[in-house]
Structure 1
């Protein structure tokens, strides 16, 4: 072996070692940053959802799911690029999952709110004060309504002003319907009047609004189902074609223009789904 070939080999080995070290350092820093951001966001969002789970344990479960998904997709598809894309998509999905959970919790809160207000109005008509009525009613409720109003009553008991506690409640549940209830209670407490009748009217208004929204959801359910079918049909068709012609379909992730086609399909699929949801999303 000549000296020139030996020098070239040494240069390649040193370059490969330096590149590996740089990649390992960048990967370790990215992992530390991801772990820090994940645990910090999970701690805040889980507390907002009244879910008392340790963020570190949740992070370990998340990493186990990512590695399991990578190996499972790699075994099924046989492409590490597709497996990596799926793992990255799962890695960035927790904020969207927390958002969906928060939206479902707020929806359940709105469903239970009219019953809570009606029961509070009935208790006030029997001679109890607003605080006493809320405490007795909240004790009998369950779900997000009990959690939020129980925290509200705790703030009032430790000396927080009633209006400030209501504002804190609205900060935790920023919904227009709840803002209507809070504004009505504040105005009625300030100018006087029959607060029990005011709360009862608000409960009846919210109940009618929820009934109307339920009818609209039932009428637009077919449009939403069409959106799901139109979005999932190309994916299902691609899987079927891959089973029938694996060599031809594998070109989608083996050549650069195949990735361009996938990117165009993803963009068009996303736009179509968003447009359909905008059409069927009717605000009351």
Structure 2
């Protein structure tokens, strides 16, 4: 691994925030490592030596979880902007339109939805004399959602130039909506392949468990000796490489 790759991974690790919501993910990873240690090396203690593997694995899973949350936030943001647009057409100012959107999003997604918290944050920023476009841009950067960032840029230009804000929002929402339709179509097309990939990831472990239960002692010759450890380590490396390749194939971003 070269220096740039190392620095990139270091930055990715440091940028992640581990919260209480990550405990189930960490517990699942520990459980899977324990199973791998038992199946590949004959004892659960071997999973301790594989702990370094769990760090990049957790980083990848955490980033995938964040992308899913940011994607869901983008969908909710689109609906919120549609509510703002409707309020604007009804004669509300932009500031009041965002306040009205909070009520609509609470009815649509519930009070605990991320978009409700973000709209409340924007409303609080407006009260503190922070411009709406600055708050939306900050939301886009914090959530790493390009659609929200681009919307903030267009919104800021339209507001400074005195353009029709409701028409601007309507055009932006339409573009975001079309992009999401394409994403949904892609998800539908590869949903079956993703399911197949998940099954194939479990199959090797299922085979090893089945053979171990039906033929006790079948793997004993591979446990507790250098040759067996090397063979099982090579098999594990091949499995990890196949896992990474599968994830790169099925993870399609627009």
Q: How do residues 201-216 of structure 1 correspond to structure 2 at under 5 angstroms?
A: 201-216=171-186
Q: Which has the larger radius of gyration?
A: 1
With a CA cutoff of 8 Å and minimum separation of 6, indicate the structure with the bigger relative contact order: 2
1:89-125, CA deviations, whole angstroms, 9 ceiling, x for partnerless residues? 7788765554344233212112222211111101001
Q: 2:103 matched to which residue of 1?
A: 139
Q: How do residues 58-207 of structure 1 correspond to structure 2 at under 5 angstroms?
A: 79-82=43-46, 84=48, 95=59, 98-141=62-105, 142=109, 143-207=113-177
1:127-154, CA deviations, whole angstroms, 9 ceiling, x for partnerless residues? 1111110111023314111112221221
- Between the aligned partners of 1:159 and 1:253, the Cα distance in structure 2 is 67
- Between the aligned partners of 2:136 and 2:124, the Cα distance in structure 1 is 12
2:222 to 252, 259, 262: 252
- Between the aligned partners of 1:228 and 1:162, the Cα distance in structure 2 is 43
> Contact between 1:220 and 1:280, CA under 8 Å: does it hold in 2?
yes
| Deviates further, 218-227 or 116-125 | 218-227
Cα 1:236/1:82, change in 2 over 3 Å:
farther
Mapped pair 1:266 → 2:236: yes
- Between the aligned partners of 2:101 and 2:250, the Cα distance in structure 1 is 36
> Contact between 2:137 and 2:153, CA under 8 Å: does it hold in 1?
no
Cα 1:166/1:140, change in 2 over 3 Å:
same
TM-score with structure 2 length normalisation? 0.74
Cα 1:91/1:214, change in 2 over 3 Å:
closer
For the aligned residues, what is the CA RMSD?
A: 3.5
> Contact between 1:66 and 1:91, CA under 8 Å: does it hold in 2?
no
Structure 2: which 5+ residue stretches go unaligned?
1-13
- Between the aligned partners of 1:182 and 1:124, the Cα distance in structure 2 is 17
Q: 1:279 matched to which residue of 2?
A: 249
Mapped pair 1:233 → 2:183: no
Structure 2 residue matching 1:248: 3-state secondary structure: coil
How much does 1:263 deviate? Answer: 2.2
How much does 1:205 deviate? Answer: 1.6
Q: 2:4 matched to which residue of 1?
A: none
> Contact between 1:188 and 1:195, CA under 8 Å: does it hold in 2?
yes
> Contact between 2:133 and 2:156, CA under 8 Å: does it hold in 1?
yes
How much does 1:246 deviate? Answer: 3.0
TM-score with structure 1 length normalisation? 0.67
Cα 1:54/1:220, change in 2 over 3 Å:
closer
1:32-58, CA deviations, whole angstroms, 9 ceiling, x for partnerless residues? xxxxxxxx999x454xxxxxx699xx6
- Between the aligned partners of 2:60 and 2:95, the Cα distance in structure 1 is 37
